[in-house]
Amino acid sequence: MNIILFEQIQESVTIDSSDIRYDHIVNVLHLTVGDSFLAGIINGPGGEARITDLAGENLTFVWKKKQEYSPLYPLTLLVAQIRPICMKRILREAVSLGVKAIIIVGTDTGEKSYREAKLWSTGEYKKYVLDGAMQSASTGIPEITFFNRVDDIVRLQNHYNHRIVLDNIESTSKLSEFDYTEGEVICAIGPERGWSARERRLFADQGFESRLLGTRVLRTETACSAGLSILLSRMGIM
């Protein structure tokens, strides 16, 4: 964690030892009374926290705002629902890269049971989203939405200036040659078994431009990190 995030922060805040943030501050950073750390409000300003009391199982700090909220980048990740352990990595890395939104969708070739995983049903996924933001020392948390099928989502994406689908089967145009002009970008990344022919037609019908991320078959989480990094570079951000 390079910043500690809270839903809200008063002038003085107390957290107890059951809070994972307490454990990080005391046992990982080894901070004590008088020490300071970066803290911020989720989707709000960032600032500096100074520990004023560390007694028993409680930690108290005072907080001072240092900077205004820095908006997330105009890039949305549309990603296929895959194994929960892999989705955890995708969420953490995509958030740390600064995407504005993440859309998670079921696919024709994906395992349907993944949608019912504990990661989603219990809200556990929010932990990995928060981890990604705190790793990046940013307060921004992207919007996370879920759809059962590609059909349910592609027709809702007309407001994007650039619509891209990664496909190493039919595409011949490299993602690294993408020409960004302005506005919002959405990038669709499929499961390791790839998009179905039907899904490819859906993307094409809705104006998604097919792009190639090399000739190798990549794990979905690898494709997400590499693809988003390339796009952010082409957008002049990285």
Least confident stretch, 39-43, 107-111, 130-134, 140-144: 107-111
Q: Which CATH architecture has domain 4-67?
A: Beta Barrel (2.40)
**Rounded (5°) CA angle 194-197-203:** 85
Answer whether residue 137 shows pLDDT above 90: yes
Domain 73-234 top-level CATH class: alpha beta
DSSP bridge pairs for 139: none
Amino acid letter for position 189: I
Residue span(s) of the chain under CATH 3.40.1280.10 come to 73-234
Average pLDDT, the chain: 94
79, 90 Cβ separation under 8 angstroms: yes
The rounded distance, in Å, linking the Cα atoms of 144 and 148 is 14
Residue span(s) of the chain under CATH 2.40.240.20 come to 4-67
Helix (H) or strand (E) holding 77: strand 73-80
Least confident stretch, 11-25, 52-66, 144-158: 144-158
Mean pLDDT of 162-167: 96
Mean pLDDT of 10-38: 94
pLDDT at 238: 84
Q: Label residue 130 by pLDDT band (50, 70, 90).
A: very high
The whole-model pTM stands at 0.92
Amino acid letter for position 34: G
pLDDT at 63: 96
